[in-house]
Amino acid sequence: MILEAQDLRKRYGAYVALDGVSLAVREGEFVSIIGPNGAGKSTLINLLTGVLAPSEGRVRFKGRDIAGIGPVALTRLGMARSFQLVQIFPELTVLETLQAAAVSRLRRGARLFASLRGDRQVQSEALEVARLFGLADRAHSPARALPQGDKKLLDVASAFSLRPEIILLDEPTSGVSTADKHTVMEILVGAARRIGLKAIIQVEHDMDIVFGYSDRIIALHQGKVLADAAPAVIRADARVVDMVIGRRAPC
Amino acid sequence: MRTPLALATVGAALLVVPLLAPAYYVTLMLPFMAYGVVLLGFNLLFGYTGLVSFGHALFIGIGAYTGAVLTTKLGVRHMELILPAAALAAAIVAAPVGALCVRYVKIYFGMLTLAFGMVFYTFLLKFYRLTGGDEGMRMLRPYLFGSEWAGFNKTAYLVGPYYYFSLGVLALATLLMWRIVASPFGLCLKTIRDNPLKAESLGVSVPRYRWSAFMISAVYGAVGGALLAPPTGNVDPTLAYWTHSGNVVFMVLLGGFSSFFGPLLGAFAFIFLQDTVMSVFPYWRLIFGAILAFIVIFAPGGLMGLFARRRGPVEVSRE
């Protein structure tokens, strides 16, 4: 088990955002978390990534309790994330963005007088990820000048640049045109295979993407786990279809 | 290729200024070089890390007073010792002040730095026996390159050895800062400036880097402050006053904070503009206020932004 959450509860005053959620992610799995707005998906992601501390319960990553340890420490442990709303460095180029991730991974940020240009490992890692994500031809473009889909891709690519063991993707195809969604996912899955990622967790609303790529789906509703099963089982679960998906699941 | 050529030209021009220009203008170059060092550090915090300090005069004051105390009270006259001592004094103060201030951003960071600057200003003003109060302290002529330069009168000393010493310090400070901003550390600062949330998600420890940038900028501020004192021969509390911090912000905006050399150009333009305007118009701050308004509204990239427009627009956040 690479990531495990036990009986997670998160309260904001009287409001209970998550109510006793347990889940486990094994090596090699692609897990999707689905649920309507307000189901607690973002809270769950923030708890799993150590941004928030749970009111009750535990989150364990590689056997270590990570509740509230913060994103920097989690990154060091081998977990990365991308955000629902695109997060980029507007004034940095594509390559600089990926270099920043490589610098962080290789722990070279304290090098005050070293030349970034002269660091071959950082340069080659950044370029490799740019190629993996099809961003190499725009390597020197400022991130702010990229089309929206490429901004999303860069956001995800920078998380991959950390070479994590597990990655949590909050709506990886939001803001991407319908025609490009599968292309983005193919790039993402290919890159995951290439860098030897052990597990992917995604929060996603697009059911074509969810059912097309997941090994397992966790459906949340009103802060609780409604179902946790393989796509075929979820597809046949009338409660999930009615309460979460809202229509017949894609075949 | 254009940048090295321009730098070589500017460097050569700076070397021959004392030989060709009237002494009056050479002495005007001295505060330019001192502020140049201050602004290089200030812009690491402002332009590269995204934190605007309204209390940077605190460190200028620390540097200047360190020089005054060392030369008048402790008998240390060598500028080669005064500058490291100023840097050390600033670092000692900046370590706790920075640790507190970098926990806040935007206006809260600015106000906190302003508050610490005013605390130091009040200390300088009120602790008369230690600091000389509003009269300040003398700064004795420091020795340079191991020599007292006894045969030189004040003007000859300032436009000769002191000019070249200041130029050497500025060149070294520029070179070091150039390395810093082009380093992995510099890249991490830029990620924090652009998007701290994203930077943290990539494993960049935002408070630690902000604190480091604060420390470096404080050291630069103190070294610049120590360079500022010998030409006047006196240091006083106005060096640490908030309007002085305002001047530092003004100079960076004037030159352009999104460019490495913008702050240096800003320091140069400010010093010579101030001298020109003051000589013809007593209400020089009125003119400077209008210039500041013009820059913010019409040329947010500063003077460097105007020069760079030929190569493409400069985008500056209005947030």
Domain extent for A13: 3-245
Local confidence band at A66 (pLDDT 50, 70, 90 cut-offs): confident
Query: Looking at residue B309, what is its pLDDT?
Result: 61
Query: Looking at residue B262, what is its pLDDT?
Result: 93
Please tell me the total count of domains within chain A.
1
A–B interface: beta-carbon pairs under 8 A: 105
**Chain B: nearest CA to A243, how far in angstroms?**
33
Query: Looking at residue B184, what is its pLDDT?
Result: 96
* CB of B112 closer than 8 Å to CB of B101: yes
State the alpha helices, DSSP H only, in B127-195: 128-131, 154-157, 163-181, 184-194
Query: Looking at residue B318, what is its pLDDT?
Result: 40
Query: Looking at residue B299, what is its pLDDT?
Result: 83
d(CA A132, CA A16): 41
Residue A248 has pLDDT above 70, yes or no: no
- Examine residue A250 and state whether it is found in any structural domain, yes or no: no
**Chain A: nearest CA to B148, how far in angstroms?**
34
Of A72, A90, A115, the CB nearest to B200: A72
Query: Looking at residue B27, what is its pLDDT?
Result: 94
Tens-level pLDDT at each residue, chain B (319 residues):
577 888 899 999 999 999 999 999 999 999 999 999 999 999 999 999 999 999 999 999 999 999 999 999 999 999 999 999 999 999 999 999 999 999 988 899 999 999 999 999 999 999 988 888 899 999 999 999 989 898 899 999 999 999 999 999 999 999 999 999 999 999 999 999 999 999 999 999 999 999 999 999 999 999 999 999 999 999 999 999 999 999 999 999 999 998 899 999 999 999 998 888 888 887 888 888 888 888 888 888 888 888 776 554 444 444 4
Average of pLDDT values for A50-59?
A: 88
Scanning B140-179 for CB atoms below 8 A from A yields 176, 179
A71 touches chain B (CB under 8 A): yes
Average of pLDDT values for A236-246?
A: 79
A105 touches chain B (CB under 8 A): yes
Side by side, the strands of the sheet bearing A3-12 are A15-25, A3-12, A56-61, A64-65
pLDDT in tens, A165-202: 999 998 888 877 787 888 889 998 998 988 889 999 99
Tokens of A39: 């189901």
The ipTM, to two decimals, is 0.89
pLDDT in tens, B242-286: 999 999 999 999 999 988 999 999 999 999 988 888 888 878 888
Transcribe B195-213 into DSSP letters. -HHHHHHTT--HHHHHHHH
**Chain B: nearest CA to A237, how far in angstroms?**
36
Contact residues, chain B, for A112 at CB < 8 Å: 179-180, 183, 185
* CB of A216 closer than 8 Å to CB of A34: no
Query: Looking at residue B175, what is its pLDDT?
Result: 96
* CB of A60 closer than 8 Å to CB of A66: yes
pLDDT in tens, A117-165: 999 999 999 999 999 999 999 999 999 999 888 898 999 999 999 999 9
Contact residues, chain A, for B193 at CB < 8 Å: 91
Average of pLDDT values for A42-71?
A: 87
d(CA A106, CA A185): 27
d(CA A102, CA B177): 22
**Chain B: nearest CA to A52, how far in angstroms?**
13
Asked if B182's CB is within 8 angstroms of A75's CB, the reply is no
Question: Considering chain B, what is the average pLDDT of its residues?
Answer: 91
* CB of B171 closer than 8 Å to CB of B37: no
d(CA B169, CA A217): 63
Query: Looking at residue B311, what is its pLDDT?
Result: 52
d(CA B45, CA B36): 15
A140 touches chain B (CB under 8 A): no
Query: Looking at residue B157, what is its pLDDT?
Result: 94
Tokens of B177: 């800062």
Side by side, the strands of the sheet bearing A216-221 are A79-82, A166-170, A199-203, A30-34, A216-221, A224-229
Domain ranges of chain B: 16-238
DSSP 8-class letter at A32: E
Of A100, A105, A116, the CB nearest to B182: A116
β-bridge pairing A3-12 and A15-25: antiparallel
Look up the CATH number of the domain holding residue A110.
Answer: 3.40.50.300
Q: How many CB atoms lie within 10 A of CB B86?
A: 29
- Examine residue A251 and state whether it is found in any structural domain, yes or no: no
d(CA B193, CA B264): 21
Contact residues, chain A, for B176 at CB < 8 Å: 113
